[in-house]
């Protein structure tokens, strides 16, 4: 019986560690996308030249970040997915639409930080 309890305890500890690892990976994906986005915005502000290839990369980063975060926060996952759509064609998005869908970089970054502090 004691061996069975030890096995069960080890299983639950292993599951907890896997869950923590998944949360860390999800948050890292969002922080990577957010930081790359901030760097790109600074570059465009400095040079005045958008870079379609970099925007495509940002779209992929945000879309990729949406998948693992869905286990912890579906709303944030949906917004990351929309942020990926934004970078497909930024010129088609108005400021009002960005505010409405809460996909501004500071909004998303703030919520990711709140999740990090809860962990």
DSSP string, 34-83: HHHHHHHHHHHHHH----HHHHHHHHHHHHHHHHHHTTT-HHHHHHHHHH
pLDDT per residue rounded down to tens, the chain (119 residues)? 666 545 645 555 555 656 678 888 999 999 999 999 999 999 999 999 999 999 999 999 999 999 999 988 899 999 999 999 999 999 999 999 999 999 998 888 888 888 778 75
89: left (phi over 0), alpha (psi -120 to 50) or beta: beta
Would you list the domain boundaries of the chain? 2-118
Euclidean distance between CA atoms 88 and 58, whole angstroms: 9
């Amino acid at each position: 019986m004691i061996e069975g309890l030890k096995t069960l305890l080890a299983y639950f500890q292993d599951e907890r560690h896997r869950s923590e690892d998944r949360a860390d990976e999800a948050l890292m994906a969002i922080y990577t996308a957010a930081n790359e986005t901030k760097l790109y915005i600074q570059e465009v502000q400095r040079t005045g030249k958008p870079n379609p290839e970099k925007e495509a990369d940002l779209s992929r980063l945000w879309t990729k970040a949406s998948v693992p975060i869905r286990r912890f926060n579906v709303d944030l996952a949906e917004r990351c997915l929309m942020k990926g759509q934004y970078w497909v064609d930024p010129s088609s998005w108005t400021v009002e639409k960005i505010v409405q869908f809460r996909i501004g970089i500071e909004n998303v970054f703030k919520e990711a930080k709140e999740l990090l502090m809860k962990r």
